Amino acid sequence: MITYLQGDATEPAGDGPKILCQICNDTGGWGKGFVVAISRRWKAPENAYRDWYQHREENDFALGAVQFVPATDMIEVANMIGQHGTRSKQGEPPIRYEAVRECLRQVGEHAVRRSASLHMPRIGCGLAGGEWSEIEKILGETIPAEVAVTVYDFE
């Protein structure tokens, strides 16, 4: 079940371990959208993403991959590669739903292992150009029922 709250996803509500989910592109770009709010709060997620991309020939950086980055003792950021490039001049959305599905499957498994809740804005619906109804459906199909999911709409 998804809980919707008004607020800032970088200040996740509740107790216990938390995973803050965000969709990243596969071109190494970081600097627009929700990543800006993350970088204002913590430096580690951006630094880890840039390093992951820079060394992509030696690691698993690709669509559908997830990088879990500790931000605090209780918060991890999940850098999920679910966007191919950026929006084209023709306006084709860069979201890749199958990659998002694979990312969220991994995040769900990780959340169960850590007894963590998931927190996110409406991922994939800003710069990635996706439809929330599709992301919401994928969340319902990939995240185990015992994992609490909170989606934040920024005020």
Give percent of the chain with pLDDT exceeding 70: 98
Number of domains in the chain: 1
Per-residue pLDDT of 69-79, as tens digits, reads 999 999 999 99
Per the DSSP assignment, residues forming a β-bridge with 83 are: 25, 95
What CATH number corresponds to the domain at position 78?
A: 3.40.220.10
Task: Identify the pLDDT of residue 92.
Answer: 83
Per-residue pLDDT of 2-12, as tens digits, reads 999 999 999 99
- For residue 55, what are the domain limits? 2-153
Mean pLDDT of the chain: 95
Task: Identify the pLDDT of residue 132.
Answer: 97
CB 144 within 8 A of CB 154: no
Provide the whole-model pTM: 0.94
Angle between the N-to-C axes of helices 34-41 and 44-54, in degrees from 0 to 180, rounded to the nearest 10:
120
Strand, helix or coil for residue 90: coil
Of all helices (H) and strands (E), which one includes residue 53?
A: helix 44-54
CB 9 within 8 A of CB 20: yes
Per-residue pLDDT of 97-154, as tens digits, reads 999 999 999 999 999 999 999 999 999 998 888 999 999 999 999 999 999 999 999 8
